[in-house]
Chains A and B, each alone.
Chain A
Amino acid sequence: MDKHQSSQRAERRLEVARVLAGFSPADIAAWDQAESLPADVPAALAQAGLLGTFIDTRNGGRGWDAVCFGLLCAEFGQASLSLLSIITVHSMVMEAIRLSGTEQQRADWLPALARGEKLGAFALTEPDFGSEATGIQTTLVQCEDGYRVSGRKKWISYAARADLLLVFGKLEDGSAVACLLPADTDGLSITPMKGLLGFRAAMLGEIEMQDCLIPAANLIGGKGAGINYVAAGALDLGRLAIAFGSLGAMEACVADSVTYANKRKQFGQALSKHQLIQQMLADMITAYKAAERLCWHAAELRTAGSPMATMETATAKYFTSTHAVTVANQAVQIHGAAGCSAGESRTERFYRDLKITEIIEGSNQMQQVMIAQNGMGEFVQSALRRKRLLAGN
């Protein structure tokens, strides 16, 4: 990495941090408690140009590479994982159009999304189908004017506020498709979801679609490509966002814990002088550093356009989210009673929010399946190469 690139990345990260510092810790805690996000928050993020950074400038974005996008997500993760969730799903909608849309569709939809004039939500999960995405039951029936979409989606981040939904369903022949469904379409109703463990201010919603009419031009990626390409491509970016977002939250947990452990005294000395606290801090610091390397590695590969990036992103998402939950657990433990109280520290919010990162954008069990199924070959081949080398041929 050259000096220019390095300082550019640091400047962009600082730019994001400055914008997010405009939201006070008390406000961020209040959004979580109220299970709602004020409408002027996404508007401020749009105004700051942070909603479409990875989209090319021709289509209204800023042309940031995957590392810069990751650093943006890390800053959002430090501030609020609910905000990160909104960035993630909005980015996934744009990524689906960028990767799987036609030139015309990119020109039609991306500029308004990248500038944040419209916000998107990613509608894949259904009441009965989550990880088994190929089982979705939403239907698209062809008609004279396009397609009629019917079905239900649930736990959809930002659905309660989005202007545009990327909906996944099946045609009459059973082939999976993706389509863009404007939120003001007749027959569409969205109910906000409350009582969630984490991501409480991410405006989750349940979507009911009854014969919602869309033009054929709103189909993204063609027939049969809905899950394997459109969803898979978008989720790949979503996993990068969650990996970096978890990393940012992890950094906040470590920093808060170190500060608290230095300040708080028990048995006549600072908590940080107690070896059992040091043990936890050591594990937290080590987990953070390992996760940071995995996240950066995945983002660098993605920036280089490497086809290996997908696997490394899944690995980074799995490792970082899993360890972030452990780190948040330790942060709460170090903070003691203060760590269990929203008025005293933000660690309880991180603990609840980070649990969600193990489930979204492909549960960690799905990541494990993917890593095992697609990661074994590397080791079989390296063992074979080693065998050949040792045999001298």
Chain B
Amino acid sequence: MTNTNYKQDIRTFLENFISEEDFADEDDIFELGLVSSLMAMQLVLFVEKTLDIRVESEDLNLDNFRSIDRMDTFMQKVSAPVHG
């Protein structure tokens, strides 16, 4: 299985909204005020569009979307095939 890294895609998307020239993968974009909490829904839509999946209600948690690192982890998780 290929372990896709979504970090660059996430960064490219976020750059549409973040006016800081530099921000790190681990930066909490909400805590640092780089985007408003109104961005939360757009990040869900981004994940859904990128992975062609539906983000289920139990995953609608800001903690999954706080930073590039966390979004990447979340996207790896929800895009992984289910075993069993």
A interface with B by C-beta (< 8 Å): 100-102, 220-222, 224-225, 227-230, 232-233, 236, 305-311, 369-370, 373-381, 384
Asked if B37 contacts A228 (CB within 8 A), the reply is: yes
* B31: interface (CB < 8 Å): no
List of B residues within 8 angstroms of A308 by Cβ: 16, 42
Residues of A within 8 A of B57 (CB): 100-102, 220-222, 225
Closest 7 pairs (CB-CB, A-B): A376-B19, A307-B45, A307-B46, A229-B60, A225-B60, A377-B17, A228-B40
Nearest A residue to B46, CB-CB: A307
Q: Which of A233, A309, A374, A384 contacts B39 (CB 8 A)?
A: A374
Cβ of B38 within 8 Å of any chain A Cβ, yes or no, is: yes
Can you list 10 contacts pairing A with B, beta carbon distance less than 8 Å?
A: A101-B57, A222-B57, A222-B58, A222-B60, A228-B60, A228-B62, A230-B60, A306-B45, A374-B17, A381-B15
Query: Could you say which interface size class chain B belongs to?
Result: 20 to 34
The interface residues of chain B lying within 8 Å CB-to-CB of A306 are 45, 49
On chain B, the residues within 8 Å of A369 by CB distance are 36
A374 contact set on B, CB distance < 8 A: 17, 35-36, 38-39, 42
Instruction: Provide the bound-state CA to CA distance between A373 and B40, in Å.
Output: 13
Tell me how far the C-beta of B73 lies from the nearest C-beta in chain A, rounded to whole angstroms: 19
- Given A377-B19, A378-B17, decide whether A229 and B40 contact each other with a Cβ distance below 8 A: yes
Q: Does B18 contact A (CB under 8 A)?
A: yes
In the bound complex, do residue B49 and residue A307 qualify as a contact, i.e. CB atoms below 8 Å apart? yes
Judge if B80 is at the interface, Cβ distance under 8 Å.
Answer: no
For A229, give its contact among B17, B20, B41, B49 (CB under 8 Å): B41
A384 touches B21 (CB 8 A): yes
Of A224, A236, A305, A377, the residue contacting B61 (CB under 8 A) is A224
Partner among B13, B45, B56 whose Cβ is within 8 Å of the Cβ of A309: B45
| Complex-state Cα separation, A307 to B14, whole angstroms | 11
Asked whether B42 lies within 8 Å of A311 as measured between CB atoms, the reply is: yes
Q: How far is the CB of A129 from chain B (nearest CB, A)?
A: 15
Residues of A within 8 A of B43 (CB): 307
Instruction: Report the minimal beta-carbon distance from B71 to chain A, rounded to whole angstroms.
Output: 12
Residues of B within 8 A of A101 (CB): 57
Complex Cα distance, B41 from A306, in Å, reads 12
| Closest A residue, CB atoms, query B15 | A381
B75 at the interface (CB under 8 A from A): no
Q: Which residue of A lies closest to B52 (CB)?
A: A305
Residues of chain A within 8 A (CB-CB) of B49 are 305-307
Q: Is B48 an interface residue (CB 8 A)?
A: yes
Least distance between B63 CB and chain A CB atoms (Å): 9
The answer to whether B35 touches A224, judged by C-beta atoms less than 8 angstroms apart, is no
Of B13, B17, B18, B61, which contacts A225 at CB under 8 A?
Answer: B61
Q: How far is the CB of A238 from chain B (nearest CB, A)?
A: 13
> Inside 8 A of B46's CB, which chain A residues have their CB?
307
B77 CB to closest chain A CB, in angstroms? Answer: 17
Q: How far is the CB of B65 from chain A (nearest CB, A)?
A: 9
The residues in B between 1 and 58 inclusive whose CB is less than 8 angstroms from any CB of A are 13-21, 35-46, 48-49, 56-58
Q: Are B42 and A307 in contact (CB under 8 A)?
A: yes
Closest B residue by C-beta to A224: B61
Residues of B near A311 (CB, < 8 A) are 17, 42
CA distance A309 to B61 in the complex (A): 21
CA distance A233 to B60 in the complex (A): 11
Q: Within the complex, what minimum Cβ distance (angstroms) separates B29 from chain A?
A: 11
Given contacts A225-B57, A377-B17, 4 further A-B contacts (CB under 8 A): A228-B62, A307-B46, A374-B35, A380-B18
